[in-house]
Amino acid sequence: MISYPRWKIVLVAIVTIVGILLALPNLFGEENALQFARDRAMVEAGDRTAILKVLTDKGVTPSGAFLEQGRLTLRFSSKSDQLKARDFIAEAKPHEFTIALSQASRVPEWMRNLGLSPLKLGLDLRGGVYLVYQVDIQGAVKQQLDHHEQDFRASLRNARVPYQDVMVDYPANRVRVLFRDAEALAKGRAAIVGDSRSVSLTETVVGVAPALELKLTPQEIKDRQDYAVQQNIVILRNRLNSPELAVSEPQVARQGVDRIAIQLPGLQNSAEVKKILGKTATLEFRMVDENDNPLEAVTTGHAPLGAKLYYTREKQPVLLKRDVVVTGDQLTDASYMPSTQDGAAVSVGLDSRGAAKMLKNTEENIGHLMAVVFIDRSREKNAEGVEVDRTTEEVINRATIRGVFSNNFQITGVNPIEGRELALLLRAGGLAAPLSAVEERAIGPSLGQDNIDKGVHAMVFGMLAAFIFMAVYYKVFGLIADLVLAVNVVLLTALLSIVGAALTLPGIAAVVLTVGMAVDANILIYERIREELRNGVTPRAAITAGFDRAFSAIIDSNITALIAGVVLWLFGAGAVRGFAVVLVLGIATSMFTSLMGSRAVVQLVYGGKRKVDRLAI
Span 302-310, mean pLDDT?
Answer: 87
CB 333 within 8 A of CB 427: yes
Question: Which residues fall within 8 angstroms of residue 113, CB to CB, at 6 or more apart?
Answer: none
More confident residue, 122 or 489: 489
What pLDDT is attached to residue 354?
82
More confident residue, 331 or 341: 331
Work out whether strand 408-412 and strand 307-311 pair parallel, antiparallel, or are unpaired: unpaired
Residue 245 lies in a domain: no
What pLDDT is attached to residue 429?
59
225-277: per-residue pLDDT in tens?
Answer: 888 888 788 778 777 766 555 565 677 888 888 888 888 776 655 666 766 67
Judgement on whether residues 585 and 485 belong to the same structural domain of the protein: yes
pLDDT at 368 over 80: yes
pLDDT at 319 over 90: yes
Residue 614 lies in a domain: no
CB 189 within 8 A of CB 212: yes
Mean predicted lDDT score pLDDT of the chain: 81
H/E run at residue 392: strand 387-400
pLDDT at 1 over 50: no
Span 479-491, mean pLDDT?
Answer: 90
What pLDDT is attached to residue 313?
77
Percent of the chain, pLDDT > 90? Answer: 6
pLDDT at 121 over 50: yes
CB 352 within 8 A of CB 318: no
**Per DSSP, what are the bridge partners of residue 502?**
120
426-444: per-residue pLDDT in tens?
Answer: 665 566 677 777 887 777 6
Q: d(Cα 348, Cα 328) in Å, to the nearest integer?
A: 10
More confident residue, 344 or 254: 254
Percent of the chain, pLDDT > 70? Answer: 86
104 in the Ramachandran plot: left (φ > 0), alpha (ψ -120 to 50) or beta?
beta
Residue 612 lies in a domain: no
Of 220, 241, 262, the residue that ends a domain is 220
Q: What is the CATH number of the domain that holds 566?
A: 1.20.1640.10
Judgement on whether residues 76 and 60 belong to the same structural domain of the protein: yes
CB 2 within 8 A of CB 608: no
What pLDDT is attached to residue 320?
92
Residue 517 lies in a domain: yes
Q: Confidence band (pLDDT; 50, 70, 90) for 278?
A: low
pLDDT at 340 over 70: no
Q: Is 279 helix (H, G, I), strand (E, B) or coil?
A: coil
First to last CA, the chain: 18
Judgement on whether residues 457 and 599 belong to the same structural domain of the protein: yes
Of 82, 106, 130, the residue that ends a domain is 106
14-70: per-residue pLDDT in tens?
Answer: 999 999 999 998 888 888 888 787 766 677 888 888 888 888 888 888 888 888 767
pLDDT at 542 over 60: yes
Q: What is the CATH number of the domain that holds 201?
A: 3.30.1360
Other C-beta atoms closer than 10 Å to the C-beta of 113 total 9
Judgement on whether residues 395 and 451 belong to the same structural domain of the protein: no
What pLDDT is attached to residue 386?
64
Judgement on whether residues 406 and 551 belong to the same structural domain of the protein: no
Of 89, 106, 123, the residue that ends a domain is 106
What pLDDT is attached to residue 425?
64
**Per DSSP, what are the bridge partners of residue 531?**
none
- Of the spans 2-6, 193-197, 318-322, 572-576, which averages the highest pLDDT? 318-322
Residue 266 lies in a domain: no
Going by C-alpha positions, the residue among 217, 171, 166, 169 that lies closest to residue 192 is 166
pLDDT at 523 over 70: yes
380-422: per-residue pLDDT in tens?
Answer: 666 666 666 677 888 877 888 888 888 787 777 666 666 776 7
Judgement on whether residues 290 and 343 belong to the same structural domain of the protein: yes
Judgement on whether residues 328 and 213 belong to the same structural domain of the protein: no
Residue 506 lies in a domain: yes
Residue 111 buriedness (CB in 10 A; 0-12 / 13-18 / 19+): middle
What pLDDT is attached to residue 275?
65
pLDDT at 142 over 50: yes
Going by C-alpha positions, the residue among 355, 346, 352 that lies closest to residue 425 is 346
Structural domain that includes position 588: 6-24+446-606
Q: d(Cα 584, Cα 597) in Å, to the nearest integer?
A: 19
Judgement on whether residues 161 and 205 belong to the same structural domain of the protein: yes
Q: What is the CATH number of the domain that holds 85?
A: 3.30.70.260
Judgement on whether residues 386 and 490 belong to the same structural domain of the protein: no
Q: In what order do the strands lie in the sheet with 307-311?
A: 307-311, 317-327, 280-288, 369-381, 387-400
Judgement on whether residues 417 and 451 belong to the same structural domain of the protein: no
Residue 453 lies in a domain: yes
Judgement on whether residues 16 and 34 belong to the same structural domain of the protein: no
Judgement on whether residues 410 and 485 belong to the same structural domain of the protein: no
Residue 403 lies in a domain: yes
pLDDT at 220 over 80: yes
Report the domain count for the chain: 4
